[in-house]
Amino acid sequence: MGLYDSYLALRFRLDDADAPEHVALVITERDLLEQGAYETLEAFVGWAFEFGSDRVTISVSVLDEAVVPTLARELRDLDVPHRVELREPGDTERADAPVQVSIGLGGKREFASVVRSLAGEVDEGALDPDDIDAADIEQRLVFPDEPDFVVKTGAERLSDFMIWQSVYAELYFTDVNWRDFRKRDYLRALRDYQDRQRRFGR
């Protein structure tokens, strides 16, 4: 770790503000085509746990679902310090692992699946529509955990990402492209997070 990285790490550790428990990263399939992209991803996950997080969610947006199987093979082989669970379009099983990866499973699709599930239960008489609340929705999400901090590289737009779960998350956009993202960039993001006062929609 370079001198500047060490300085940022020290500033982070001396700050009384908490680290984000759950960090989410939003990247694209094109980001993963860059040389060294998967090594950077492995490093990112390592940095998150090194600096106090206990869960990482990675969302990979795709333009063509034909690339999903190829990306899935690569992402299942990530060399990271914790268990990885991966979900693709069409998956409905809840993810519950320290490292969660979504490939092309957008927030709109996930939410639509929840709505269909609830509608089916109402139609069967198993659920009263007047009793449906936020907990019923959250119980049916593939990625039920709410991130504290969402990092997006390269552009100031989130794409179709965890639209229910990230409503109260702190968002961080950096113009650093994924191929150039370094530890110091992650530490800068954490310092920005520490300087914020979370309001949770208030």
CB 51 within 8 A of CB 14: no
When the pLDDT of each residue in the chain is averaged and rounded to a whole number, the result is: 89
- CA angle (184 as vertex; 180, 188 as ends), nearest 5: 110
Q: How far apart are the first and last CA of the chain?
A: 39
What percentage of the chain has pLDDT greater than the value 90? 52
pLDDT band at 191 (very low <50, low <70, confident <90, very high): very high
State the pLDDT at residue 169: 92
State the pLDDT at residue 55: 97
State the pLDDT at residue 157: 65
Q: How far is CA 53 from CA 4, 21, 99, 136, 147, in A?
A: 22, 4, 11, 27, 11
DSSP structural state of residue 86: E
Q: Is 5 inside any structural domain?
A: no
**Whether the predicted pLDDT of 201 surpasses 60:** no
Q: Is 1 inside any structural domain?
A: no
Q: Is 10 inside any structural domain?
A: no
State the pLDDT at residue 176: 92
Tens of pLDDT, residue by residue over 71-107, are 999 999 999 999 999 999 888 899 999 999 999 887 7
Tens of pLDDT, residue by residue over 12-48, are 888 888 899 999 999 999 999 989 999 999 999 999 9
- pTM for this structure? 0.88
Domain that holds residue 178: 15-194
State the pLDDT at residue 85: 96
Average pLDDT of the residues in 128-141: 89
Q: Is 51 inside any structural domain?
A: yes
**CATH at 28:** 3.40.1180.10
Q: Is 155 inside any structural domain?
A: yes
State the pLDDT at residue 109: 81
Q: Is 178 inside any structural domain?
A: yes
Instruction: Tell whether the torsion through CA atoms of 144, 145, 151 and 157 is positive or negative.
Output: positive
Q: Is 187 inside any structural domain?
A: yes
Q: Is 91 inside any structural domain?
A: yes
Count of domains in the chain?
Answer: 1
Q: How far apart are CA 56 and CA 133, in angstroms?
A: 27
Q: How far apart are CA 47 and CA 151, in angstroms?
A: 13
